[in-house]
Amino acid sequence: MINIHLPLVRNLFDPILQAEFISFAQVAYNSCVDWFGVPNDEKRKFVLVWGHFDGCCRNRLVREYTIVIRREYQHPEQIMAATAHEMYHRVTMWRRGLTQCVWTDEMLAFLASQKLLVLHGMTDYARLRYETLREHHKMLSMDSLRKCVRKRVTFGRRGVVYPEGFGESVARVGVELEALVGWDAICRIVKHTAWNDWLVEIDAITIPAVAKLLSLG
């Protein structure tokens, strides 16, 4: 996610015109609203553009969101996974609470994108995507994840830079957490400002395992 104000961002990238990607983006938006709630600025439209990085930018000049998708992608599944990931950020960008933690926010974005891939017949790609991440040998501890911040490279080719192993680690934690609590409980994370408030809503029998996974003291 790129939480920045780019007044002329639409002049810096090429619009995505393919109907299948535009249609999927709308489906992704609707699904994220169903899962995570209606954004406060729901009337703001979004546009899809090709760029050098994936990102979600709020354009204050034209009062819309720009979803940037990396032009180097070779396969439709890659484009749709990125679109779903960034659409989560469009819907939840201005939420306050647990999603203000970078690792939590990116974990939920990954899980939302995986869910959308599966729901739209791309289960094999979703599985491959996760297995590829799991093969990464550098995994960060929860303490390290909590300290991670977004390093923005606004006009570079990478958009946002995270520490090595960050994406792989949040994906692993997210998949394990969903296996423990289920998708509905995952979606409720965005409504809370503290993990303890969220914990009281899940099955009591799973709380010890969840607390251990997330290193909640």
pLDDT in tens, 3-19: 433 444 444 578 898 99
Sheet of 45-51, strand order: 14-15, 45-51, 64-70, 55-59
Does the pLDDT at position 209 exceed 90? Answer: yes
Q: Which long-range contacts (CB under 8 A, 24 or more apart) does 197-200 make?
A: 198/98
- pLDDT value for 159: 64
In terms of pLDDT, which residue wins out, 217 or 117? Answer: 117
- pLDDT value for 12: 55
Does the pLDDT at position 147 exceed 70? Answer: yes
- pLDDT value for 9: 45
- pLDDT value for 39: 95
| 170 vs 3: CA distance, rounded Å | 19
CA geometry: angle 171, 119, 88, nearest 5 deg: 50
| 53 vs 156: CA distance, rounded Å | 9
- pLDDT value for 2: 41
Largest CA-CA distance found in the chain, in angstroms, rounded: 53
Instruction: Round the average pLDDT of the chain to a whole number and report it.
Output: 90
Does the pLDDT at position 157 exceed 90? Answer: no
